[in-house]
Amino acid sequence: MSETTTPTDAGGTAKTDFDVVIIGAGFGGLAALKELRGHGFSVRAVEAAPEVGGTWYWN
């Protein structure tokens, strides 16, 4: 079973404005997330599966 969550900031308000949204939290998506955050971008990754991993999760 999966659940839907809304990202929040430290104050508990919903954060919906990002510089980059990555679709898929597999190997490539996680690498892009790390790299972009390292350059100071506000980044969010979204994944269809209940956990990250992409092909690792589905197989």
pLDDT at 1: 42
* Structure tokens, 7: 């990202």
> What DSSP state is assigned to residue 38?
H
d(CA 19, CA 44) in angstroms, rounded, equals 9
Q: Which tokens go with 29?
A: 């998506």
- The reply to whether the predicted model has a pTM over 0.75 is no
Looking at the domain assignment, is residue 47 inside a domain? yes
**Per-residue pLDDT for the chain (59 aa), expressed as one digit of tens each?**
445 566 665 666 677 899 999 999 999 999 999 999 999 999 999 998 888 887 777 77
Q: Identify the DSSP state of 20.
A: E
Is residue 39 in a domain?
yes
In a domain, 31, yes or no: yes
Report the run of H or E that residue 53 belongs to, with start and end. none
Domain hosting 31: range is 20-53
Task: With respect to residue 33, please indicate whether it lies within any of the assigned structural domains.
Answer: yes
Residue 3: predicted pLDDT: 54
Pair of tokens at residue 34: 């790390």
The end-to-end CA distance of the chain, in Å, is 17
Domain assignment present for residue 7? The answer is no
Question: How many separate domains does the chain show?
Answer: 1
* Residue 25 lies inside a defined structural domain of this protein: yes
In a domain, 30, yes or no: yes
Task: Flag whether 59 is in a domain.
Answer: no
